[in-house]
Structure formats: structure tokens, C-alpha cells
């Protein structure tokens, strides 16, 4: 499934949010045969694999509801592949970002560290 315009916007807004928090963006839309990771970011302690879900601010469901067990499994498998091919001393962590927009503008971001556990 191709990434929609709102999905790309959400990923960009999440990357900017992380940079404001002191993270460096390592990769965006990392793909392999197991799946895709929206944003990979690092700080001095963590390598964060971030799943981003973007929804309209007046939507009926919360973006985090779209991160199903199947989606989590794909992200974990993709992260394992990434780590095999990219050596790091940082602690891996799985985060999630819920991006709420209205008319293409950011309303808010809810960011959850260690979202898969």
C-alpha cells in the first residue's frame, strides 16, 4: 500500500518533533522484505524505531488503534533486519507517534516511548 500524503506529512512532522527533542533522524521509510519502518532516530542512548499513524483530528478512531499485533510483528522483524546490517551500541526501542491533523496542519502529536511493551 503506497504511503498517502497525510501519512508522509505525519512522518515529516514526527521527524521534526524528534529533532526538537534532540534526536538525529537516521532513516525514513526504511524498507526490506519484512516490512517498513517509518522513522528511525537516535539520541545518545536509544535507537528508536518509530511507527507513525496520522489521522484527521475529528476522526472516530485513535491512530494507535491501527498498530495491530501483525503490524508490530512486521516492525520488529524489520528492525531486527536493520540491526543485523547496521551495527550500533545504542539500545533499540520501539516507539509510536499518533499525529492529528486538520486541513493539512498539525493539531497535535502523541508520542509513546516503548510502545510495543
Quote the pTM value. Answer: 0.92
Total domain count, the chain: 1
**Is position 60 within any domain?**
no
CATH at 88: 3.40.1350.10
**Is position 62 within any domain?**
no
**Is position 74 within any domain?**
yes
Cα 54 from Cα 42, distance rounded (Å): 22
Over residues 1-50, the pLDDT tens digits come to 344 677 899 999 999 999 999 999 999 999 999 999 999 999 999 999 99
What mean pLDDT, rounded, does the chain reach?
A: 94
**Is position 101 within any domain?**
yes
* pLDDT at 4 (0 to 100): 65
H-type helices in the chain, by residue range? 5-20, 69-85
Q: Which domain holds residue 11?
A: 5-46+70-112
Closest C-alpha to 49, from 87, 21, 77, 12 = 77
Amino acid at each position: 500500500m503506497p504511503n498517502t500524503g497525510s501519512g508522509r506529512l505525519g512522518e515529516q512532522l514526527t521527524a521534526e518533533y524528534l529533532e526538537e527533542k534532540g534526536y538525529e533522524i537516521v532513516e525514513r521509510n526504511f524498507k526490506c522484505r519484512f516490512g517498513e519502518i517509518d522513522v528511525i532516530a537516535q539520541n545518545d542512548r536509544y535507537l528508536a524505531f518509530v511507527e507513525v499513524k496520522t489521522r484527521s483530528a475529528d476522526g472516530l478512531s485513535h491512530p494507535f488503534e491501527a498498530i495491530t499485533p501483525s503490524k508490530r510483528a512486521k516492525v520488529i522483524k524489520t528492525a531486527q533486519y536493520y540491526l543485523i546490517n547496521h551495527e550500533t551500541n545504542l539500545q533499540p526501542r520501539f516507539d509510536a507517534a499518533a499525529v492529528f491533523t486538520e486541513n493539512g496542519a498539525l493539531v497535535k502529536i502523541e508520542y509513546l516511548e516503548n510502545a510495543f511493551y
